[in-house]
Amino acid sequence: MLKLPEAWVWDFWLVDDGQEYHLFFLYASRALRDPDARHYRASVGHAVSSDLVDWRRVTDALVRSGPPSFDDLATWTGSVIQHPDGTWFMFYTGATLTPDGNIQTIGCATSADLLTWDKLSGPVLTADPRWYEKLEDGYWHDEAFRDPWVMPDPDGDGWHMLITARANHGPRDDRGVVGHAWSPDLRTWQLRPPLTEPGQGFAQLEVMQTAVIEGQTYLVFSCLDGDTSASRQATGTTGGVWAAPAESVLGPYDIAGAELLTDRSLYVGRIIPRRDTGEPAFLAFRHDAADGSFIGEITDPMTVSHEDGVLGVNTVSVAR
């Protein structure tokens, strides 16, 4: 478990370098008192572990840039992948605050050793109004274009990025889509239309990840009940971590058929293979306490089950 007495910890991403697991996480000081204020004070911390349980903090990975910059408010959630030349690439969310609201874009930093990171200048991707909602459209409280998940093309044709985004059409509460970009080399990116359509029951699909469990592909994402559509809220969902069956890592994804893996006591679920067994492990951060207050710490790994084509997570061992 990663629990910091001085700071809240929430969204995170993982990478295995073959010797250690690296955990990159958002954190902000508890001196803020209001946990909702953490988003505008987020930095990217870094810890390493040999077993996904005991974590040792190392030097922070990223902090916000000085103004004016696309990430002068905060650095938010991302993912890490290694280029064949050995360079590590971290794609992350840059947030900046305008008089009209928060604008999110995708930034990039590189490293030779996963410890020291150098930001590339400017965002590598921004929301394109041909396909994606913009802040000035006035339908949402921010320009949602964040949480990049980068993966190699299954046929060896470059790399793909999945992005938390909103379509430029559809009901206000049901515009959440899987944004999409492609790169031949991880250095230059082409934004493409979303891989899904709006109207699947979500205003936004946060912190996406693809995972293949016993031959079945899933899109794992997070969404709280307040960010689901009115029709889905009418079913009484609490929100949490979701899993949508998919035909491949690039879809099609059955977003409308997504099932909850956890309730809202856990959020931002990540699946990573255990190095010793290859079995999938599930980690999340503790979101809601029993009284509804925010917790802000990362769990120990949990067991993933897959029976009759249904993905599940054993959360019994997670302290409440």
Q: What is the pLDDT of residues 244-298, one digit of tens each?
A: 999 999 999 999 999 999 999 999 999 999 988 999 999 999 999 999 999 999 9
Strand, helix or coil for residue 273: strand
H runs (alpha helix) in the chain = 230-233
Q: Which two tokens stand for residue 4?
A: 């910091």
How far is the CA of 238 from the CAs of 9, 147, 232, 265, in angstroms? 21, 22, 10, 9
**14, 77, 318 from 83: Cα distances, Å:** 16, 20, 35
pTM: 0.96
- Checking if the pLDDT of 319 tops 60, the result is no
Task: Considering only CA atoms, give the Rg of the chain.
Answer: 18
Find out whether 77 and 13 touch, Cβ atoms under 8 Å. yes
Could you tell me if 89 and 80 are in contact, meaning their C-beta atoms sit under 8 angstroms apart? yes
Query: Looking at residue 182, what is its pLDDT?
Result: 98
Q: Is residue 98 a contact partner of residue 143, using CB atoms and an 8 Å limit?
A: no
- Domain extents in the chain: 7-313
Give the residue among 297, 247, 270 at the shortest CA–CA distance from 78: 270
Contacts of 282 (CB under 8 A, 6+ apart): 261, 269, 270, 271, 301, 302, 303, 304, 313
What percent of the chain clears pLDDT 90, i.e. is strictly above it?
94
Lowest mean pLDDT among 147-151, 196-200, 303-307: 303-307
Rounded mean pLDDT of 126-149? 97
- Note the pLDDT of residue 309: 81
Looking at residue 317, its pLDDT comes to: 54
In 10 A of CB 272, how many CB atoms?
19
Query: Which DSSP category does 140 fall into?
Result: S
Give, in degrees to the nearest 5, the angle at Cα 318 between 243 and 303. 50
Q: What is the pLDDT of residues 197-230, one digit of tens each?
A: 999 999 999 999 999 999 999 999 999 999 999 9
In the predicted model, is pLDDT for residue 316 greater than 90? no
Q: Is the peptide bond before 68 cis (omega within 30 degrees of 0)?
A: yes
Residue 233, phi then psi, degrees to nearest 5: -60, -30
- pLDDT value of residue 320: 36
Report how far residue 40's alpha carbon sits from residue 215's, in angstroms, rounded to the nearest whole number. 40
Query: With 50 as the cut, is the pLDDT of residue 56 above it?
Result: yes
- Select from 276, 284, 269 the least CA-distant residue to 319: 284
* CATH code, 7-313: 2.115.10.20
CA distance 315 to 313: 6
Nearest to 125 by CA among 156, 101, 150: 150
Mean pLDDT for all residues in the chain: 96
Q: Which pLDDT band, with edges at 50, 70 and 90, does 64 fall under?
A: very high
Q: Which two tokens stand for residue 115?
A: 């410890």
CA-closest candidate to residue 49, choices 58, 37, 61: 58
Q: How far is CA 135 from the centre of its chain?
A: 21
Q: Is the pLDDT of residue 28 over 60?
A: yes
